Structure 1
């Protein structure tokens, strides 16, 4: 579940994607749940479980989404009572970045790694931290929410510019590049990176600053978990 799209796939037990697709996210809870049911109905009878990842604070025990990131209307959505009840299968839900960490631990770069981290760079910054081979959730399921690290307190703590969410936002970096280039579509990531790769001076300057900010975040994270 993302702020722009809902992406879905039918997957086997080895992690192979059999079918996949996406659809535009809705802007209210009723339409959003209806869209989930449409996807589920499409594959009804073909699956024995449903795994969901979503932004925000996720209660993985009660299967409830709290503070759903850009999808604020998801706050309080119980997936066991919705998807689980409708299809009669086991349901699990995890924060999107923590789900990415579990994937890397299963089939990717964290396989066999005792202590490590995954970062997702999008609108904000998500994180999944593995220590002792186990994913950290924290006392309130918010361990690894790297967006809320303060890396620029001089901006004022009430300003988003003080936080990693703004300084290390890939979306924001793309917007800055496109704005500098005079492009109408500020969200066009392909155009932004084409300019960066072509050696455009201003685009390169914005990108290098972004990379530095991400590097500082990584060093801070390493200080904590190393």
Structure 2
């Protein structure tokens, strides 16, 4: 692995079970100075998760940033926050109608000619409930790693799903059936368009 690959890939969990997904969009600028300026905007768009649905259009689920108690908050995502996700179709009873993920890391890095911000989220229990079942259609082994990076005059926006398996292990039979169907649809590639729309939106003019 060369230095550029190590810089960009070291935060991706190892793929061990289930399915994986890789969604990448690239934009090239006339010079490195222009790319440096745009990276600031792209980084802001990535971390401003409350605006993801506006960036991506109707293809994307609705996202609301919350604190550790499940209360809606504004601002940029940080480690320890949660995302309340309203996906198309029936919601999760365990999640009070929503899917939930926990933001387990937000990492910013810079080297000569390269810089990146990486946000990794993992399915979590509903912070508004005492029920500790994972309130998401995927199991807690799954991760979604979102990244904006600049290498020279090139900027990339990416989403990498790892270890994606349907969550059929909750105490709710209804949720288990729902999660199986939603997870099955995701493995067929139905979640790819929404992430493609998001990464395109992050790099748009």
Return the TM-score normalized by structure 1: 0.24
Structure of higher CA gyration radius = 1
- As a proportion of its length, which structure holds more helix? 1
Higher relative contact order (CA 8 A, sep 6+): 2
Return the TM-score normalized by structure 2: 0.26
- As a proportion of its length, which structure holds more strand? 2
